[in-house]
Structure 1
Amino acid sequence: MYYNIEDILCEDHLVECRLEVDLYKGSFLDKEAHTEDGNLQRGHVMKLPLWMAKIMSEQEYDGIQLVSVEILEIFEDEFQKALDADPQIVNLKYHSPYFYQLGFKMADMIANDVRLERFRGAVKLRETLIEALKKRSIQVIFKLVQSKLEELNLLTEDEKENFYLSKKIKLEYEKWEQRLTRRQKNDIPNKKLKQL
């Protein structure tokens, strides 16, 4: 099986999970849990890496899901509304260098769980992320034209990738344009040859 390094780094992000069952000797999962017997009780909230939360949320015990994943604050309604209003003013990289990937992974995990408050649902989250990426990508292309390379450190990994791809396309276009111009110059007949 092939693992993408960006997926690995993205899934290392910590998410809050709530235990839906009692977990015998499960305190090793939460360093902050102080239990004498090492057991974790149903309802206990702990932070787990996204990859582990995903695995545990897919497991069941007696027909009950082991953990339910809480939506990250950066994907709650208030933050989504800010992204809808003007995604360019929000520093997404501050929240996660893999903001978009993390958002799509959270949407896949949480789906449209009706128990979640402050969350409009997975479909709306996906739409918001796509629109934010579109609007911010236009900004990335503008930065390319303006050559404001110092602002690149504010971009997420996906936005940087778009920036470098845009830059590559621009350079390829300029090379093509130069070749076309040279070819047109060479197509002009030489006056001396015409006289012969």
Structure 2
Amino acid sequence: MYYNIDDILCEDHLVECRLEVDLYKGIFLDKEAHIEDGNLQRGHVMKLPFWMAKIMSEQEYDGIQLVQVEILEIFEDEIQKHLDADPTIVNLKQYSPYYYQLGFKMADMIPNEIRLEGFRGANKLRETLIETLKKRSIQVIFQLVQSKLEELNILTEDEKQNFYLSKGIKLQYEKWEQRLTRRQKNDIPNKKLKEL
């Protein structure tokens, strides 16, 4: 089994989790907790890497989910509204280099029918991410390819891949165009010779 390095880096992002059960000697999960007996109580909030939070949220004890994962602030309504208005002016990379991947993974963890304060739901998050990637690909990435700028520090990892793909396609098209122009130039004298 092989792991994608982008997946590993994406899932290393810290997310807040709330314990739904008492966790005996669970202090090792939260280094910032100052608890003498080492037991974490139900309701304790801690930060875990996304991959661990996902695993723990899928586990149950006596029919109760171990942890409830909180929605990251970077996917709450306030940010989504900015993205709906004009995604090209938002620097997504400052939130996470893997903004889209993390967003889809988070949306997959949340049941579609759940509505939380400050969060419109998993389906709306997915729609916003797709529309944002489309608009940013058309405007930001296309402008970078056309202007030959190398300012990629504003792009997420997905957008960088689109940029390099777009740049490669543009270079291939330019090479094809040059070959076509050379052929056309070479064909003109041959036609004149045949006519003579």
Q: Is the TM value for this pair above 0.5?
A: yes
Aligned to 2:161: 161
| Structure 1 gap ranges (5+) | none
Same amino acid, percent of matched pairs: 80
Aligned to 2:24: 24
Q: State the alpha-carbon separation in 2 of the partners of residues 190 and 166 from structure 1.
A: 37
8 Å CA contact retained: 2:115, 2:121 = no
1:17-48 CA distance string (max 9 Å, x none)? 00001111101100111111111000000000
Aligned to 1:148: 149
TM-score, length of structure 2 as denominator length: 0.94
Any idea what SS the aligned residue of 1:112 has? coil
Note the 1:89-128 alignment, pairs <5 A. 89-112=89-112, 114=114, 116-128=116-128
Mapped pair 1:74 → 2:74 = yes
User: Which has the larger displacement, 130-139 or 183-192?
Assistant: 183-192
Equivalent position amino acid for 1:94 in 2: Q
Q: State the alpha-carbon separation in 1 of the partners of residues 41 and 112 from structure 2.
A: 26
Count of residue pairs the alignment pairs up: 194
TM-score, length of structure 1 as denominator length: 0.94
Equivalent position amino acid for 1:164 in 2: Y
Q: CA deviation at 1:11?
A: 0.3
Q: CA deviation at 1:130?
A: 0.6
Mapped pair 1:59 → 2:76 = no
Q: State the alpha-carbon separation in 2 of the partners of residues 16 and 185 from structure 1.
A: 65
Ranges of 4+ aligned residues in structure 1 off by more than 4 Å: none
Change (3 A) 1:68 1:115: farther
Aligned to 2:15: 15
1:59-95 CA distance string (max 9 Å, x none)? 0001110001000001001110111001111111011
Aligned to 1:132: 132
Q: State the alpha-carbon separation in 2 of the partners of residues 148 and 184 from structure 1.
A: 32
Q: State the alpha-carbon separation in 1 of the partners of residues 41 and 116 from structure 2.
A: 21
Q: State the alpha-carbon separation in 2 of the partners of residues 115 and 59 from structure 1.
A: 22
Q: Tell me how large the CA RMSD over aligned residues is.
A: 1.3
Q: CA deviation at 1:184?
A: 2.0
8 Å CA contact retained: 2:112, 2:122 = yes
Q: State the alpha-carbon separation in 2 of the partners of residues 45 and 193 from structure 1.
A: 85
8 Å CA contact retained: 2:16, 2:70 = yes
Q: CA deviation at 1:142?
A: 1.2
8 Å CA contact retained: 2:111, 2:122 = yes
